[in-house]
Amino acid sequence: MSLNSESMDPRARRTRRLLTQAFVELLEEKTPQAITVRDITQRANVNRATFYAHFADKYALYEYVFRDWFQAVLRARLPQPAPFNQETLHQLILAVFDFLAQLYKHTCRGGIYPPHQPRIETLVQQQVYETVFAWLAPVVRANGGTSPEVAATAISWAIIGVGLQFGRDASAEQAEHVATQALYQIAQGVPVLQFEARSSIKETWRQS
């Protein structure tokens, strides 16, 4: 059974770091399908029982690695706790672009990105959904309106879709421009952002 990282003692946290580091190193050499639990435990220098104390199987470790990677990208872009406004939504979009660009650069050499693209997209979408839902739920409770679950689902998939279409190979300048356009479109469905988006984003377009 997987352990909650917040409840782990220092030794357990160190073991988990060794397992994740071993898996990341192996991804440079093999596809996920070809990596075995034995490969991981040998690289990390731990036994199988220790591995299974942390992860149900290699796919649970795989998901943990990519989830943790995306969370690190989010932390680099968003303050904690992040308020809900146009700028933080903009930074969330750019974080998705950053992650997809890093992912593609890191994995395309070994050819692992295309076959695992749907699962990675879903992992990222889930975390974007959780972030947007946490922002929207208090606003909806205070003002009424669309279900925060529906709104967060629509917004999160919109961000992922734009990121996959434009953000993966974009330069920093291109990513900024596309993110601004995406933000303007998304904000039209979020009443609390509409006025702010219309005024500030249109000004950005005039300057570009």
The pLDDT profile of the chain, 208 residues, written as one tens digit per residue, is 444 555 568 899 999 999 999 999 998 888 777 899 999 999 999 999 999 999 999 989 988 998 999 999 999 999 888 888 889 999 999 999 999 888 877 665 544 455 567 788 889 999 999 999 999 888 777 776 678 898 899 999 999 999 888 766 767 788 888 999 999 888 887 766 654 444 454 454 455 5
Q: 141, exposed or middle or buried, with CB in 10 Å at 0-12, 13-18, 19+?
A: exposed
8 A C-beta contact, residue 191 and residue 101: no
Cβ–Cβ under 8 Å, residues 24 and 65:
yes
Domain assignment of residue 61, yes or no? no
Number of domains comprising the chain: 2
- Asked whether residue 27 falls in the same domain as residue 72, the answer is no
Instruction: Name the token pair of 112.
Output: 């692992």
Residue with tokens 């920093």: 172
Residues 140, 200, single domain; the answer is yes
